[in-house]
Amino acid sequence: MREITYRQAINEALHEEMARDDSVFILGESICHEQWDTHAGLVQRFGRERIRDTAISETAIVGAAVGAALAGYRPIADIMFSDFLFCAADETLNQAATHRFSNGGKTRVPMVIKTAMGGYGSGGPMHSQCPEGFLWHRPGLKIALPSTPYDAKGLLKSAIRDNNPVVYLFHKMLLDNTGRVPEDEYLVPLGKADVKRQGSDLTVVATSYMVTMALEVAEQLEAHGLSVEVVDVRCLEPLDLGTILASVDKTGRAVIVDEDVSRCGVTAEIALRIMEGGSRPLLSPIRRVAAPDLPIPAGHLERWVLPAPQDIADAIGGAMGIKEPILVKGASAEPGFTVG
């Protein structure tokens, strides 16, 4: 099978869905030549009516997407950095998320908010954040956060076809990663987790870029006799708790890894759901790896805040009752993405 990049996978999904359905269009700021280069060829093929550059106004981008969705279209609201989505908090959290509910289930809001998440680029607190904790807190949104090119394409296609507001979070550090993607059309359904690595001693439940990091760590721990299973949640809403519980029931141990800050975050929520839903006593307490409760610093101190491979290895070692730290290497924690 051919290999393409995560960036190309996103681009292919957009091309295919826009060709398939005339009601799909994209609006956002500077999207004809999009910052992350996921829009190659779109404006040439579909024109500026459907690839609509806007003023720098996240409020209008997301709000207009909600309105167009209500009136029968399938807009994709493009938000350059997920940090900027908070400028459209009312439109995202109040309007998009609750519209159908507040109107007795009589409306549909089929739209996608496509935005770049994550740190490891030393970009500072307003160009590095992970918004999934905030977003997951709000009932009414669906949230997809792919870790591989295959998932990036399949999930985006499903998100565009979904009849609800879906926040599609792609990670800046993953854009150049390559992976197998079939030439034939396929979808990855929203709400299906994926076991990315089989193991028997412990389950790592991870999101987005942290899946890549966890896999890197798991490979190294294999040499130390540890068999680590890695579950990629792929979507937080709907959450495929069944796949997570099945894995933890098998291994008896869990480490949850998410790049967002830990407080009230994804790691806390998944950990509690495992404790509430598991069918056997755990062999050790659940551990989590997430950013400490700090803004993301710009420059060199970023690496002291964002999760690193050694943090994951330490959490796994701790859960396994291993006293001595197992040292691991990890290219994934090196500053990676650049912009502009």
Partner 1 sequence: MAGGDSVNPAGKGAGKAAATTAMDGPTTEQLVTLYTNMVRVRKLDEFMVSAYFSGKLAGPFFHSQQGQEAIGVGACTFLRSDDYIWYTHRGHGVCEVIAKGLPMRSFVAEHFGKATGSSNGIGFINTCAPELGIFGMGGTVGGESTLAAGVGLAAKFRGKQQVVLCFLGDGAMGEGSVHTALLMSANWKLPVVWICSNNGMGMWVPVSVAYPKENVADLAFGYDIPARIEDGQDVATVHAAVQVAVERARSGRGPSFIEFKTCRYGPQVEGLGDYSLDGLRDPAEIERWKQRDPIKLCAQRLLEEKALAPDDLERIEREALAEIEEAEEFANESPLPDPSLLSTALYAD
Q: In the range 67-86, which residues lie near partner 1 by CB under 8 A? A: 67-73, 75
For strands 287-291 and 254-261, give the pairing.
parallel
- Identify the residue among 4, 18, 42, 66 touching partner 1 (CB under 8 A): 66
Q: Which parts of 6-25 interact with partner 1 (CB under 8 A)?
A: 25
Interaction between residue 304 and partner 1 (CB under 8 A): no
Q: Which residues contact 124 (CB under 8 A, 6 or more apart)?
A: 296, 297, 298, 299
Exactly one of 64, 202, 210, 286 binds partner 1 (CB under 8 A); that residue is: 64
Minimum gap (Å) between residue 266 Cβ and partner 1:
20
For residues 132-151, which are near partner 1 according to CB under 8 A?
Answer: 139-140, 142
Q: CB under 8 Å to 67, separation ≥6 — which residues?
A: none
Determine, following the binding rule CB under 8 A, whether residue 153 of this chain makes contact with partner 1.
Answer: no
Select the residue interacting with partner 1 from 92, 115, 164, 208 (CB under 8 A).
Answer: 164
Q: Is 39 in the active site? A: no
Q: How far is the CB of 160 from partner 1 (least distance, A)?
A: 14
d(CA 217, CA 210): 10
Residue from 37, 47, 101, 292 that binds partner 1 (CB under 8 A)? 101
- The yes or no reply on residue 340 touching partner 1 (CB under 8 A) is no
In whole angstroms, the minimum distance from the beta carbon of 169 to partner 1 comes to 19
Q: Stretches 4-12, 31-39, 104-112, 207-215: which one binds partner 1 (CB under 8 A)?
A: 104-112
Contact between 106 and partner 1 (CB under 8 A)?
A: yes
Residues 235-274 vs partner 1: string with x where CB under 8 A? ----------------------------------------
C-alpha 75/C-alpha 61 separation (Å) is 10
Q: Which of 3, 21, 90, 176 binds partner 1 (CB under 8 A)?
A: 90
Q: Amino acid identity of 27?
A: L
> Min. distance of Cβ 112 from partner 1 in angstroms?
14
Q: Cα 137 vs. chain centroid, distance in angstroms?
A: 15
Choosing from 15, 16, 32, 59, the residue that interacts with partner 1 (CB under 8 A) is 59
Rule CB under 8 A: say whether 95 interacts with partner 1: yes
Q: Report the candidate in 178, 212, 172 with the shortest Cα–Cα distance to residue 331.
A: 212
Give the binding range for partner 1 (CB under 8 A) out of 66-74, 115-123, 311-319, 328-336: 66-74
Closest approach, Cβ 47 to partner 1, in A, equals: 12
Minimum CB–partner distance for residue 74 and partner 1 (Å): 11
Give 161 or 303: the residue with its C-beta nearer to partner 1: 161
> Three-state SS string across the chain, please?
CCEEEHHHHHHHHHHHHHHHCCCEEEEECCCCCCCCCCCCCHHHHHHHHHEEECCCCHHHHHHHHHHHHHCCCEEEEEEEEHHHHHHHHHHHHHHHHHHHHHCCCCCCCCEEEEEEECCCCCECCCCCCCCHHHHHCCCCCEEECCCCHHHHHHHHHHHHHCCCEEEEEEEHHHCCCEEECCCCCCCCCCCCCEEEECCCCEEEEECCHHHHHHHHHHHHHHCCCCCEEEEECCEEECCCHHHHHHHHHHHCCEEEEEEEECCCCHHHHHHHHHHHHCCCCCCCCCEEEEECCCCCCEHHHHHHCCCCHHHHHHHHHHHCCCCCCCCCCCHHHCCCCCCC
Given 127, 171, 224, 300, which residue is catalytic?
A: 127
Give the catalytic positions in this structure: 127
Q: Give the interface with partner 1 as residue ranges (CB under 8 A).
A: 25, 49, 54-55, 57, 59-60, 62-73, 75, 90-91, 94-95, 99-110, 139-140, 142, 163-164
